Each structure stands twice: as structure tokens, then as C-alpha cells.
Amino acid sequence: GRSALRACGVHNVCRLLSRRAHGFYARDAGVAHRKNLGLLRRIMCQESTKFKNVWTTHSASPIAYERGRIYMDNYQCCITSIAQQPRLIYQKSKCAKSEKIEDALLLECPLGEMLPSPSDYKASLIVLTVQNWLLRLSADSGEVLEKVYLAGSCCKFFRYLSWDTPQEVMIVKSAQNKLPAAARQAGIQQTVLFYLAVFQVLPLSFIGMLEINKKIFGNSVTDVAVSNGILIVMYSMGLVRLYNFKAILEQFMEQQFDLGQEFNWNGQVGVVGKYPFGLPCNIKITDTPPLLFEASSLENAFQIGGYPWHYIITPNKKKHKGVFHICSLKDNAL
């Protein structure tokens, strides 16, 4: 019967759910996820399914969505989408332009860990404001639970939040440093392109800050990212280079600091994470780290994942736009 089902394909949703519960898809990576999407598609696309408009909204500003919560008006308004009809969770008063939120991440409590504060066990929203404040807000009320000032003397424009390890290690990235036109005309060189601040979350703790410098990584760097312990550096000619980010933190860490710690370091005196001192740049990369891997791809399009590891690129020629090559990370075999 099982081979016959495979041959003809199972089309009954109840049968598919039963097979999933019995672990029929557990032996192959990705199969369960594909089957779940297939179930969803089958339910939504069957002829007997009827849809009705339960809610409509409009917004002049971007609408964000995180795990069943819809955020509007620059995260001032939060609406749940889980109920039969979306309902308001909280509405904050309109904020000043200086408090505008640039980016946000939803933070959820890790399972099986003891946390220092009762508020840590509830979902919260980590937000980055235009004035370089990192705030942790209650996902249920919008109340400020923690606040950290980021920008010290080294950097004034933090703009992006991302996960290195989801729900564990967070990266705060600056906008690309650009000299004013007058400084460029005067022949002043800008060598530091980006700053990256690294945090452990729940409890929120500062790991370190580092700079991405032309002298170390080259003049043609256009962007950087961190994911799963890998520093990804992108270049204008379509080159993508990968470095071991954890090894960089360990090798080039000059001194460790805790949030709230008073410090007197490199001529600076202040409190870590407090205004006006912000965070010290305590990770100084003095030499090019060992290269793990590099690939050339159109518009720096690069993704890595799977088991065993594979990567996806687009050949670095305009005529290949829309073409994707899936290659083995082990030996680059197509």
C-alpha cells in the first residue's frame, strides 16, 4: 500500500496529516517543510474553499509583520492577526522624528533557560531608533524594558538589525561611512566603511564592536553581513568572501566590557551603553583574517545552506540574470 500511495500520490489532506503525524517525512531533510507547504497550498487552492474579506487597512508608511503581529505607523501601532478578525494590541502616541524607528527584530524567550527578569519570558521587540538608541519594547504593550545608547565617538549612524544566530546573537550595523564632499576634495581618505555591534540577547549583553576597514578587506567593499558565525564581505565586482566571524571576535578582542560598566579606555571615560559615550570599539582587526571561501556572483547574489552544505549563485555576467547555479560547498561541483 505504501509504495502504491507513493506511485499515485496522496491527495487527501487528512491522509497527508496522518502520514506526517506518523513521521513518514522525518528521514529526509526539508521534506517535512515541503509537505507542510503542499498541505497549505492544497487547502487554499481547492475549489470548495471560499475566502471573505474580514479586514482592510491602508497606511502611508510601510507595514511590518512579525509572528502574527502587524506593525503600522513606524511601530507605534500593533495589531494581532491571529484572531478571527485582527484587533488592536496597543497604540502609542505619535513619536518625534528623532525617535523614528529604523529597524526592528522580534525577540522570543528561549526554552529551558533561567532568565534574570520576569519580563524576559514574554515576547519583546528590539528596535533601533534614528538617534542610535537600541530599545527593547514589550510586544504586548510597547513599554520600554531596556535601552542602550550605541553611538560613541566612532560612529553616528546605526541603521540595521539582523540575526547572527536567531534568537541568540544579534548584529547592529551602521550605514556606510561617507566623507562630506569638502573633506573628499581636501584629499582626506575614509578607510572605515562599516561598524558592527554584536549583542547576546536575553539577557541583553554587549559582546563587542568592530570596524570593517578598507586597509584590511580592500578598497572595493560595498557591503557586509553576518550570519551563522560567518562574516560575509561583498565587493563591487560581484565577489563574495566568507570569514569565520567567531574566530575574528576571539582573535582581535582587545578588552571585554559589560553594559553599565564604567570604563576609562583609549582616552574615553564613561559608562558602556549610556549616553553620550555609547559603546567602545573594542575589537580591532589588525590583519586580514583567514579566508574560508569566495565566489563570484552577479550583484553579490549569494545564499548558503542545506545539508550537506550547498551555495546558490548567479554567474557573474548580465546575460545570466535569472540563472541560478547550485554548487556543493565541499568541492564547488555544480
pLDDT in tens, 46-92: 888 888 898 998 888 889 998 889 999 999 999 998 888 899 999 99
pLDDT in tens, 284-306: 999 999 999 999 999 998 888 87
Proportion of the chain in helix, strand, coil states, percent, rounded to 5: 20, 35, 45
Give the global pTM: 0.82
**Do 55 and 86 contact (CB within 8 A), yes or no?**
yes
Reported residue count of the chain is 334
- How many angstroms separate the Cα of 262 from the Cα of each of 132, 133, 257, 269, 302? 20, 19, 9, 8, 41
Band of pLDDT at residue 27, cut at 50, 70 and 90: low
Strands 124-129 and 87-91: unpaired
Dist. CA 327–CA 325, nearest whole Å: 6
- How many angstroms separate the Cα of 102 from the Cα of each of 78, 97, 158? 16, 11, 9
**Do 268 and 152 contact (CB within 8 A), yes or no?**
yes
Which grid cell sits at 98?
A: 528623532
- Range of weakest confidence among 20-34, 35-49, 109-123, 314-328: 20-34
Q: Which residues pair with 230 in a beta bridge?
A: 227, 244
**Do 193 and 213 contact (CB within 8 A), yes or no?**
yes
Q: How buried is 171 (Cβ within 10 angstroms: 0-12 exposed, 13-18 middle, 19+ buried)?
A: buried
User: Running DSSP on this structure, what letter comes out for residue 320?
Assistant: G
